[in-house]
Amino acid sequence: MKRILKRKVLMVTLLAISIMLLTSCGTRENKKATGTNTDNAVDVSAPGELPIVKEKIELTIGIPNNANVQNFDTNEYTKWLEEQTNIDLKFDIFPSSGGMDKLQVMLASNSELPDVLIGFQMDDKLFLKYEDQGVFLALNDYIEEHGYWIKEMFEKTMVKDVKKYMRSANGKFYWMPYLVEQEGNVWAGKAWINKVWLDKLGLEVPTTTEEFRTVLKAFKTKDPNGNGKNDELGFTGSKNGWHQKAYDFLISSFIYNDHNNFYIVNEDGKADVAYDKDEWKEAMKYMNSLVQEDLFDLQSFTQDSSALKALAQNPDYNILGAFASGSPDALFSANRERLGEYVAIPPLKGPKGVAWAYKQPMMPRCYGVITKYCENPVAAFKLMDFMLSEESALRGRYGVPEKDWKYATENDICIFENIGRKALVVPILPYGAPQNSHWQSLHPTFRSAEISDGMAWNGDPLDGEYIKAKAITAYKDKAPEKIVSKLLFNIEESEEFYSLETSISAYVKEHIAMFITGRKNLENDWNDYIKELHNMGLDRYKELLQIGYERFEKGE
């Protein structure tokens, strides 16, 4: 009987192996012949004219997966594009996390790529790296000869130097832009304070750093939440939330803070860094003094966004007096009434009268490129050019007209009314849930301010977007005129610069924590800190920084 059992196992194994062999084999049909040979390219229409091609062609689009897009092939937006342009769209789906890594591997191993890559935020360095192989096509000529909607965008947009942002270090344009004019996200360095507590204690919203200290002290000692315990927290934030670092907000009362690598433009008009300046030292001193009076929450260095959220939703008694956050509504999702207790703190005036607001300049981002494997590059360009039209912007973001959204009427109030916008669109389809009407807006597009800030208000005063919108006035236009928004490097410069930056940045961030917590003393250790920065190559770093800044600003 053991024999029979053995034979059965053998049969099952053989069967399993055969099934496996049958189902595993079979790669997809070979792609059409590749090469930079575009002799077979079909004729295209004039700029701005639809459909783009008279005889139907096929284009493959490589795009990162999005779990909220149910099916790219049958998607409404896809169908609309195909109808309008007469191009058949096929999709090569990349994983949404790690899609860029996979692309790097494919590039490095000279694998064939799809005709068009959409939705990958590619860096300038990538284009320069593969320039000698011509993997990514330069679009300058296409824009000149065939561009229509992109030229409209260049005219209409509020971004003054939009072309500067799109140019690479070698002067070429490699990508089609994703440009969304959203005022709300420009002024993202917000901080909030509990108005109910202020009123209870008879205090005003602080306008200077010293007033802030007084208010925090009052919060700490006068028990505004009325529970008999001094459990109220000092100024807090989180280590990884969106613009939620507590120290970031306060530094800008002394010197401009770009919330990232601390680039500034100094009085000589040169690109510089903020962290070796006396103003920076003052900022550290101020925050250290807050820490000593327990008015600055040290947990803000270590807790993540979820922990801050848990604090915000502390049951029974609110303990959150003031905190930094670009988007506070996320913290109060389970306890929305509390959100209404807070108002935005305008930039506080430091002892020298400095009160900068953080600004994230509106800029276009790389969202679509054409690879050398495309046989119809002009048609591909015109497709992406078409995506920049207004109708595409509306359909790409909101979905099918009348079904997923409709135009606002006279009666709809705009969320961003306080900065002068009118309501344009009333959304019906919720954004962020699985759907098949659009591609989650992950493609070249131009959403002018009318569209992106034109969402109607649903009348809810506790609505997160509404609250954020109201807060903008506290920060708008309070940034320095000149800031470093982008750097352009060639390959050698970029390697050297970013290697230096990784070490220096880590060192600086570690010392922010050390100076503020008092682990290192500002009187005794400051000079060693500066010396070490120079040892790490700060001078060379600044040289390169200036080179990159200049090249970008010159714009040619």
- CB nearer to another protein: give 94 or 254: 94
Could you give the CA distance from residue 189 to residue 311 in angstroms, rounded to a whole number? Answer: 20
Could you tell me which stretch among 36-44, 74-82, 87-95, 522-530 binds another protein (CB under 8 A)?
Answer: 87-95
- CB nearer to another protein: give 147 or 234: 234
134-193 residues in contact with another protein (CB under 8 A) are: 182, 184-185, 188
Could you tell me which stretch among 66-74, 212-220, 361-369, 372-380 binds another protein (CB under 8 A)?
Answer: 66-74
109 to 128: interface string for another protein, x by CB under 8 A: xxx-----------x-xx--
Spatial neighbors of 48 by CB under 8 A, at least 6 apart, are: 148, 149
203 to 242: interface string for another protein, x by CB under 8 A: ------------------------------------x--x
498-537 residues in contact with another protein (CB under 8 A) are: 498-499, 501-503, 506-507, 509-510, 512-513, 517, 532, 535-536
CB 63 within 8 A of CB 72: yes
CB 328 within 8 A of CB 342: yes
CB 241 within 8 A of CB 337: no
**Which DSSP helix (H) or strand (E) runs through 419?**
none
344: helix, coil or strand? Answer: strand
Could you give the CA distance from residue 96 to residue 265 in angstroms, rounded to a whole number? Answer: 36
Among the listed residues 353, 432, 523, 527, the single contact to another protein using CB under 8 A: 432
Query: How many binding residues for another protein (CB under 8 A)?
Result: 105
Q: Token pair of 124, please?
A: 């300038």
- Asked if residue 80 binds another protein (CB under 8 A), the reply is no
- CB nearer to another protein: give 334 or 413: 334
CA proximity to 499, closest of 458, 465, 540: 540
- Asked if residue 361 binds another protein (CB under 8 A), the reply is no
Angle between helix 522-535 and helix 491-517 axes, rounded to 10 deg: 170
Could you give the CA distance from residue 198 to residue 202 in angstroms, rounded to a whole number? Answer: 6
261-300 residues in contact with another protein (CB under 8 A) are: 298-299
In sequence order, what E strands does 408-463 have? 425-427, 445-447
In sequence order, what E strands does 183-318 have? 191-194, 263-265, 271-273
The separation between CA 428 and the C-alpha centre of its own chain, rounded to angstroms, equals 25
Could you tell me which stretch among 147-155, 340-348, 380-388, 432-440 binds another protein (CB under 8 A)?
Answer: 432-440
459-498 residues in contact with another protein (CB under 8 A) are: 460, 463-466, 494-495, 498
Spatial neighbors of 403 by CB under 8 A, at least 6 apart, are: 428, 429, 437
26 to 65: interface string for another protein, x by CB under 8 A: xxx------------------------------------x
- CB nearer to another protein: give 376 or 435: 435
Query: CB count, 10 Å around CB of 239?
Result: 17
Could you tell me which stretch among 203-211, 251-259, 287-295, 312-320 binds another protein (CB under 8 A)?
Answer: 312-320
**Which DSSP helix (H) or strand (E) runs through 91?**
strand 87-94
Smallest distance, Å, CB 352 to another protein?
Answer: 26
316-355 residues in contact with another protein (CB under 8 A) are: 326-327, 329-330, 333-336
- CB nearer to another protein: give 72 or 197: 72
- Asked if residue 4 binds another protein (CB under 8 A), the reply is no
Rounded to a whole number of angstroms, the CA Rg of the chain reads: 28
Among the listed residues 45, 68, 86, 546, the single contact to another protein using CB under 8 A: 68
CB 239 within 8 A of CB 304: yes
Among the listed residues 1, 23, 204, 228, the single contact to another protein using CB under 8 A: 23
- CB nearer to another protein: give 220 or 382: 220
CA proximity to 379, closest of 164, 126, 130, 88: 88
- CB nearer to another protein: give 45 or 440: 440
